[in-house]
Structure 1
Amino acid sequence: MTDKKSTMRAQFIMTATGERLAVMPEADYNRMLEALEDRADAEAVREFKARLATGEEELMPAEFAHRIIGGENKIRVWREFRAIADRELAEKAEISAECLSQIESGERDGSFGTIKKIAAALKVSLDDLA
């Protein structure tokens, strides 16, 4: 494999204001952009793995993610993912089981305060339920 540094060709020019510019073939420029994107992607993966190791992030099985993507009630999906019974979640969130049932079925919208309590009981962010 050829070292990309040795194959990059650049010409330097000076502007009227004294700024020095590098001019390079488009193919070299595109390779450089790709390398920078790969490096940024690798760093993002490292950061995610670190957050995963500390518990700041978690992985959700595709089965549950697909249910959310498909439009199923996010509270119900998270509750079932966490293996929490509806009455247990209602108790933890300090709301009635009937209220939780109505929110999960879409019969009623929960207030901000109620959704905040449910999010805390599920140990998810409000964004996860939005």
Structure 2
Amino acid sequence: MINIQFIERDGRPEFAVVPIEVWERIKRRVGELDDAALHGQAKTRDDGFRIPAAILDAELSGDNPVKAWREYRRMTQDALATAAGLSKPYLSQIENRKRDGSIEVFQSLAAALCVPIDVLVEQPGK
């Protein structure tokens, strides 16, 4: 039997004092429940989209995300420009960071490359 001490305030139990080995088991179980809840939340939010290592390597080497994805998809600039409804020079300028594209342009590129738009838009300071 486990010896638990109860501390009362105003005649009602307010605290329970348990042996440390009991506390350690409880703490471990609570941690397991937290882990299971976090895992469940992550699975619920998982859309199945993954970024291939080749894309990460290209971006870490300095490639613009649009260029990295275009090459990964084995598309020419002509093919991507046509699919996105852009001119090839404009696409080239985006890939070489000489021009910024509008949200509409990035939406067209994302659709043509079959990727979420957020993987194409570079974060400031990058």
Which residue of the partner structure matches residue 24 of structure 2? 27
Which residue of the partner structure matches residue 87 of structure 2? 96
2:76 aligned residue (45, 65, 85): 85
CA distance in 1 between counterparts of 2:82 and 2:101 reads 15
Alpha-carbon distance, 1:84 to partner: 1.7
Alpha-carbon distance, 1:79 to partner: 1.2
1:13 to 1:119, Cα distance in 2 relative to 1, 3 A: farther
SS state at 1:90 partner: helix
Which residue of the partner structure matches residue 58 of structure 2? 67
1:115 to 1:20, Cα distance in 2 relative to 1, 3 A: same
1:32 to 1:113, Cα distance in 2 relative to 1, 3 A: same
CA distance in 2 between counterparts of 1:62 and 1:88 reads 23
Deviation string for 1:5-61 (max 9, x for gaps)? xx9x9766565596866655452343124312432354357547xx6xxxx423333
Which residue of the partner structure matches residue 39 of structure 1? 36
Query: Which ranges in structure 2 are unaligned for 5 or more consecutive residues?
Result: 122-126
| TM-score normalized with structure 1 length | 0.66
Query: Which ranges in structure 1 are unaligned for 5 or more consecutive residues?
Result: 1-6
Bigger-Rg structure (1/2): 2
| 1:108 partnered with 2:99 | yes
1:61 to 1:115, Cα distance in 2 relative to 1, 3 A: closer
- Number of aligned residue pairs: give it: 116
Between 89-98 and 26-35, report the one with greater CA deviation.
26-35
Q: What do you get for the CA RMSD once the two structures are aligned?
A: 3.2
What percentage of residue pairs aligned between the two structures are identical? 32
SS state at 1:79 partner: helix
